[in-house]
Amino acid sequence: MKIGCQSGYFMKQYGMGKGIALLGEAGFDAVDFSFNAWPYDHSIFTLGDAEFVRTFRSISAQIKESGVAVAQAHAVVPSYRRDPEIDAQIFDTIIKNIEATAMLDCPYIVIHPKIPSEYKYDFYRSETRELNLEFYSSLIPHLERTGVICLIENMFNWDDQKGKICPTVCSYAAELIDYMDMLDNPHFAICLDIGHANLTLDPPVQMIKALGSRIKALHIHDNNGVSDQHLCPYLGNIDWDAVTQALAFIGYNGVFSLETEKTFWYNRFHSIDLLNTAKQMARVAAELAQKVSAQ
């Protein structure tokens, strides 16, 4: 099983080509290409069509030279600002992200559902369902044209009154399955975020077993069950033995991909030895991936 890591932090520090090459040197086989490292209106997304194609073909060539695969990508976030003009710009950028994903020879792109602020716990579930049916359906022509598969991710919201994270769009396995059935199109699947699952009411192991083969990619990170910390596994309270057993149970054979960039921020020595921190995380990922494969 390949191990991966999101690319954003290293791309920002070293540039796209060198940053991804260094992740390969750290021990990762693949990256989660971080379009979400940039805002939706970044200049790279406003290039003319010909220049945009040239730019991402060049990026693709640099990545291939490093020997690292682009296993999945992550579109800009959020997908929804409730401002028609901004939302139209975000949509255009997401389409550009899909096109660039194809140019990177990457099969999957994570695109967050639209999350109205009112959708906390079970409020506004049906209204949000219709909003996202329209949103994801509008992506289908672009997904079919490029061959890219859109991955829907389990999310969370913030309860202002209680001052804590709470469930929202697709926090539950049942709702993710409903979205798959609602869209009924082979260009949609699921990216299960293990850290997010540890923050809401459907725990990671339960979600893995319920979603089964619908899971095509992972966001692997740890937390304390209270905050979205995006830490390296074993730095929070997730039971990683149980998680790897559940992934083995469903026969998961995709990339074991870390989304742990905040570990760099919390490591006080990261500016001195960033590469060593990445190597340590790669060793942890490799150990957990081996547990999935061995069971």
pLDDT at 16: 87
pLDDT at 271: 58
Q: What do you get for the CA distance between the two ends of the chain, in Å?
A: 12
Other C-beta atoms within 10 Å of 184: how many? 7
Stretch 46-54: mean pLDDT: 96
- Tell me which long-range contacts 277-283 makes (C-beta under 8 A, separation of at least 24): 278/5, 278/10, 278/22, 278/23, 278/26, 278/27, 278/28, 279/26, 279/27, 280/232, 281/5, 281/26, 281/232, 282/3, 282/5, 282/26, 282/27, 282/28, 283/27
Cα dihedral 239→244→249→255 (10° resolution)? 140
pLDDT at 265: 64
Portion of the chain with pLDDT greater than 70, in percent: 97
Domain that holds residue 219: 3-294
> Is the per-residue pLDDT at 4 higher than 70?
yes
pLDDT at 272: 60
CATH number of the domain bearing residue 83: 3.20.20.150
Query: What does the alpha-carbon distance between residue 132 and residue 127 come to, in Å, rounded to a whole number?
Result: 9
Average predicted confidence (pLDDT) for the chain: 95
Stretch 139-164: mean pLDDT: 97
> Is the per-residue pLDDT at 81 higher than 60?
yes
Q: How is the beta sheet containing 30-34 ordered, strand by strand?
A: 215-219, 188-193, 149-153, 108-110, 69-74, 30-34, 3-6, 256-258
pLDDT in tens, 94-120: 999 999 999 999 999 999 999 999 999
Stretch 10-33: mean pLDDT: 94
Stretch 15-20: mean pLDDT: 90
Stretch 139-163: mean pLDDT: 97
- The pTM score is 0.96
What is the maximum alpha-carbon separation in the chain? Answer: 51
Higher model confidence: residue 268 or residue 196?
196
Contact between residue 17 and residue 44 where contact means Cβ atoms under 8 Å apart: no
How many independent structural domains does the chain possess? 1
Buried b (16+ CB within 10 A) or exposed e, 47-60: eeeeebeeebeebb
The phi and psi torsions of 184 (rounded to 5 degrees) equal: 45, 55
Other C-beta atoms within 10 Å of 99: how many? 18
Cα-only R_g, the chain: 18
pLDDT at 182: 96
pLDDT at 270: 54
> Is the per-residue pLDDT at 201 higher than 80?
yes
pLDDT in tens, 234-290: 999 999 999 999 999 999 999 999 999 887 766 554 556 788 889 999 999 999 999
pLDDT at 273: 77
pLDDT at 262: 81
> Is the per-residue pLDDT at 122 higher than 90?
no
Beta strands 3-6 and 256-258, pairing class: parallel
Query: What does the alpha-carbon distance between residue 129 and residue 113 come to, in Å, rounded to a whole number?
Result: 10
> Is the per-residue pLDDT at 58 higher than 70?
yes
> Is the per-residue pLDDT at 159 higher than 60?
yes
